[in-house]
Structure formats: structure tokens, C-alpha cells
Structure 1
């Protein structure tokens, strides 16, 4: 009962504080929304990007025919191709030798130059498109010359290669399975870090801890009440943030939206996802509450908590390149990494009961271990006063 009173008090104080609401709700939403539209732009087809390319005036008609069908390239003629690109008025350009067509007609080797900046994404896309057009033109010339010599063009292609995707999920699904858990980690970490730092370190900094410890509430109930508040806060932050993100993806994106077509029982998948969120929320609440016990001030506690949030993002780097069929039991035994691995399965409609229970068990067990360590430290005046 005493623990519940602490829990209710902290929950009311948390949601009453405008600063906490901003850091807990609005900041994660802004960050997640920015990530959504960043990845949507990154996954947009090259055809949707309009790029300015240039060539010399005397070669305009020939290059226009060469780039026919490349609708994302807007071609125009200029006096100085290189200078135009350097001035930022175009992202790429094509320069042909003055007698290019005559050299080709005579069967000689001609020279072309593709100008641009390979360190610029737009320039690289334009240069690649120009290079592809030149390659196709070159192949057409070779085929024509072989035909004139009565040689079958099939001699250049003795076999064809077909790539077959045997594992479920396309690029959009893979991106979503990486993006959603990363958003969850960031949202929960950023959302509760301020409250977690204030719960213990804030009481010490304001010199109110002594008065609280003189109340009839024992230290275990006091700590557990604050921990439950953080778990609820983290869970609400995770659910709210992901809910808004799903709405943004479904209504305001095209590429990422295609990754939301999860097969199987959507309600069951949603229930499993909720349980994963709660287990992760418990883990982050325990870890950040422990840093608050270590910290003498709110600022010091926040400095301890920042590396924990950053470490939480690291598993994304290890799981992105791992195929669905390459996931092993180890991936579900490593805390936080198991969140990414489980979401990777959920997004293609796979609910592996063993993997789900491993993830929940590992995260909750570690959360309780960390909470127990915090309780041991909290029992000593050295860490409380």
C-alpha cells in the first residue's frame, strides 16, 4: 500500500511537470518523426529525384537522345560544363570529343567524360545514370557491329543470371524491422532519462531525501514505487511514439508504408510487440534509476545515463546485415539486441514462441537484477544522502 502511494505520487508529479512532458513525449516524437521522413527520402526511387545535368551546346541533340527515358535527369546545354558544375548550377555533366559520332561511325574508339562529385549523393546518382546510358549505347554499337560481321550477338552473353529471393521481406520490410526498434530504444531512453535522473539524484540535490526517508515508507517500497513509475512512463512513451510513427508512415509515406504489410495475425503480433516494449521499458527503467542512485546531482546522473542510451542503439549496427534465416538463439539471449531480432521476425509475420519468451525472460531478469543492485545500494546512506 505504501509503495502504491509512492507510485501514485510520482506519476502525478511527473505528468504535472511541463518540462518532463516535453522531454518525455514531445521531444521523442519530434526525433522519431524526423527519422521517419529521413528514411522515406533515402528509400525514394531515383526516378522521383529531379537532377540537373549539362553538356556542351554542339552535343545537346545527341546527348538528349542518349539520355532518352531518364526522366529524372533535366538536361541543358552550357558553354563550360565543368564551371557550371563547380558553381552548383548542375550536379553532373557529359563531355564528348568533338568528332565523337564520326569516330564511332568509323569504328574507332572515342572518348567521353562524365563530370561530377562522387561525394555528393545527387551527383553520384546522376553520374551513375549517365554511365548506364553510355553502357547501353556501347552495347547497342557492339551488337550492330557484330551483326555487320554476321556474328550472333549471343556470343557475348553465353548465359543469363536470375536472382531469386528465397527469404520473405523486401527492402521496405527490412528497413522497418531496423527503424522501429531503433526508434523504440531512442524514444524510451530519451523520454525517461530526465525523470529517472530527478527521482533519486534530484531528491539528493534538493536536500529532500532525508525528509522522505523519515516517513513510514521503507526504502524498498520507496524505490519500487519510483521504478514502477518509470516503467509506466517508459511504456507509455514507447507506445505513444510508435503509434504516432505508424500513423505518419501509413498516411504520409510511400516507400516505408509498403513495409507495414505484416502477414499473419495482426492482433497477436501487436500483443507480442507490446510485451516486448514493456520488458524493454523495465530494463531501461532499472538501468537509468541505478544511474540516478550513483549521481549526486541531476546533471551527474544524466551524464551517467547518456552512455546507456547510446549503447542501446549499438545493436542496430550488428543486426541490420543479419538475414532472417541467420538469427540464432544467441541473438535472443543478448539484452536489447533481442528486441531488434524479435521485431525483425514480427515484421514478416513470424512469431517464434521460444524467441519471444527468451527475449521477455532475459530483459525482465536483467531488469530485476539491476533493480536488486539498486536496492542494495539504496539501503546504504553513502549512496542516498
Structure 2
């Protein structure tokens, strides 16, 4: 009987074009657009067209240092600070007019770099300019030390070198790990949202729930059939979002494609991914079933579910700056958060069976508890039939 209810609800949802558009097509198009945009941002040369404003009476030697770099565009202005504020330049330099003479007299003239603190491009330009100035400063220091017959090792007894403990990464893997969990999980939640609102709140609003309850079918079977229908749309949407993500990275990107290389543990990766995706769809579907039972209309259900979507995306921001090695085992006991964390581990090639077991266990327990709550509500006419 559950199978018949499941099939009937599935066919009814598939007949609605809005369900297909909002559950499948729009999430896929948005995901492809995000990936394409991220790849273009990474492929763009950040040092291109860096403009710096200086006064006309600035020291010529510093101006020549900047002009010799092809990535720097020097703009002469009466008021360099105003040029930055008006967006005509990304940074401004204040250079003393007697800069060269003070250096020859063994003094330390000051060069000030002004930036727009609200602009990332302005900050990157300032860093690039400082690197140019530091190189020339080191060259002058080495020249002076040579004149004094002093080696550079005398004032630099040791060097500090920073290296990553993981494999070399140009930032593409970090970008993949940042976008992939959000795209996949939001694909799952976006798939269950339209059908969940319509299957319960929609039927109450259309007054068709009464006729359904009068049929010789147990309420448990009705609830399970509807719940599995909603979960199916979540799983399908999640899988299609994943497929669109992989294909767009493979064939539409140049930088991100290098990071999407699954070497070894392929079976473990697929198993962990499918299990976590399925459990997330079941859990999210039951949460939306409860909210849809609380609502008396589709519009009211949408107002409830919009708040849940904001809560569901919160773990994404909590994990954004964390490394996979900083994840604690206790974090995999928190529903939704553990799915984000597990997918991040999988993308970095970390296969921890304890994390997988904690994720499966916590999602299963939470789903059982929510199903009990949903079943209790479904047995009460005040929640099933709505107002009046």
C-alpha cells in the first residue's frame, strides 16, 4: 500500500511543471553559474591593471621602479587621495621630494601607501607595491653592505621558510571544497522544498486531505508514502546537482578542473557520499513535513521553510575557515553540520570511518525522532485538516 501511495504522489508532483522547474532545473543552472563564476575569478590575473596615483613632484627614482613593472599603471594627480576615493586609482603613494638625496645621506625617508580599506583590489595593489619597494630596499641594503665588506648573512643569521604540510594547492581545491558542499546540500534542500509545501499544506488548502483520510489506508502508510516522495525529489535533485557540478567543473572550467581528481578510495567516496546524501534528504524531508503540517496554506508553509533554509546554511559559514584536520569527532554528531564536514573531508581525500559512523548515526537518530513527532501530528485532525 505504501508503494501505491508513493507512486501516486510521485506522479502528481511530476505532473506539476513548477515542481520540476524549481526543484531541478533552476538549482542546476544556479550551480553551473556559481562554478563558472568561481573559475573565472580564479583564472583572472589579479595583478592586471593595478593603478597607483602619485603627485607630479614625487621622486623620480620611485616612479621609475613602479613604471618598470608592467602590472602597475602610474597616474599623476594633484590629489592622489582624492583619486583613490573617486575610484580613479586603486592606491596612492606619498613620496618625499628629496627621497633620493635622503637615501644617499644614509637617512630613512618614509613612503606612505594609501588604500581604500573597503576594496580587496585596493589591498592587493598595496601589497604588490610594497613587494616592489621591498625588493629595491633589499638591493640597496646589499649594495651598502658590499661597500662595507659585510655579507648579508651577517645581519640575517637565519631564514624562516613557510611550507604547507599537505600537497601543493594553487587554491583550486580550496575553492572546490568551499562551493561543492553548499551546492550539493542546497540542491537537496531545494528539491524537497516545493513538493513538501504542496503535499501537506497544499492539500489542506485545497480541502483534498479529508477525502484522502476517508480512504481505507492507514495514516502511517499515508505519511510514509508522502515522506518518501518528498525525499525522492531531494535525492534526485542532489544527484543532479552533483552531476551538473562535476560536468561543469570538467568541461567549463580551466583552473578548478585540476583539483577535481579522485585518486583511490573511489568506492568509499561514492558510498559515503550516497549514504550521507540519502540520510540528509530523509531528515530534511521530515523537517519540512512537520512544518507543512503546522501550516494551513502553501504561503504559510513557505514562510516557515524560508527560516529553516537559513539555519541549514549556517554550518557552511562555520566550516569555511576550518581545515579538515581541525574537525573534531564530536562535530560529526551535529546533524546538517556533519554532512558539510564529511563532504569536506571526502573532497580533501580524508576517509575517516569514525566520522562516517557518527554522521550516519546522528542523522538516523534525529530522523527517527522527527518521524515520531510527525506521526503524532499526522494522527491529530487539528494538524492534518487545518483550521476549520
Superimposed CA distance per residue, residues 4-29 of structure 1 (whole angstroms, 9 cap, x where no aligned partner) = 22211221222221222221123322
Query: Contact 2:177 / 2:344 at 8 angstroms: preserved in 1?
Result: yes
- Give the equivalent residue in structure 1 for 2:97: 98
Alignment of 1:206-285 (within 5 A): 206-285=206-285
User: Structure 1 pair 128/234, CA: closer, same or farther in 2 (3 Å)?
Assistant: same
- Give the equivalent residue in structure 2 for 1:143: 142
Following the alignment from structure 2 to structure 1, what is the Cα–Cα distance between the partners of residues 83 and 196?
Answer: 55
Superimposed CA distance per residue, residues 12-58 of structure 1 (whole angstroms, 9 cap, x where no aligned partner) = 22222122222112332243234324544554575454333333456
Following the alignment from structure 1 to structure 2, what is the Cα–Cα distance between the partners of residues 70 and 228?
Answer: 62
Secondary structure at 1:52's aligned position in 2? strand
Alignment of 1:235-384 (within 5 A): 235-384=235-384
TM-score with structure 1 setting the length: 0.90
Deviation of the 1:227 alpha carbon: 0.7
User: Structure 1 pair 81/372, CA: closer, same or farther in 2 (3 Å)?
Assistant: same
Query: Contact 1:263 / 1:348 at 8 angstroms: preserved in 2?
Result: no
Query: Contact 2:269 / 2:346 at 8 angstroms: preserved in 1?
Result: yes
Secondary structure at 1:75's aligned position in 2? strand
- Give the equivalent residue in structure 2 for 1:179: 179
Deviates more, 1:35-44 or 1:284-293: 35-44
Following the alignment from structure 2 to structure 1, what is the Cα–Cα distance between the partners of residues 11 and 168?
Answer: 43
Following the alignment from structure 1 to structure 2, what is the Cα–Cα distance between the partners of residues 317 and 283?
Answer: 21
Deviation of the 1:229 alpha carbon: 0.8
Deviates more, 1:286-295 or 1:9-18: 9-18
- Give the equivalent residue in structure 1 for 2:111: 112
Superimposed CA distance per residue, residues 130-150 of structure 1 (whole angstroms, 9 cap, x where no aligned partner) = 122122222222222222222
Deviates more, 1:189-198 or 1:318-327: 318-327
Query: Contact 2:59 / 2:96 at 8 angstroms: preserved in 1?
Result: no
Secondary structure at 2:259's aligned position in 1? helix
Query: Contact 2:188 / 2:234 at 8 angstroms: preserved in 1?
Result: yes
Q: How many residues end up aligned between the 2 structures? A: 384
Query: Contact 1:205 / 1:298 at 8 angstroms: preserved in 2?
Result: yes
User: Structure 1 pair 112/326, CA: closer, same or farther in 2 (3 Å)?
Assistant: closer
CA RMSD after TM alignment: 2.5
Alignment of 1:160-175 (within 5 A): 160-168=159-167, 170=169, 171-175=171-175
Deviation of the 1:65 alpha carbon: 3.9
Secondary structure at 1:159's aligned position in 2? coil
- Gaps spanning 5+ residues in structure 1: where? none
Following the alignment from structure 1 to structure 2, what is the Cα–Cα distance between the partners of residues 281 and 291?
Answer: 15
Query: Contact 1:174 / 1:344 at 8 angstroms: preserved in 2?
Result: no
Deviation of the 1:270 alpha carbon: 2.5
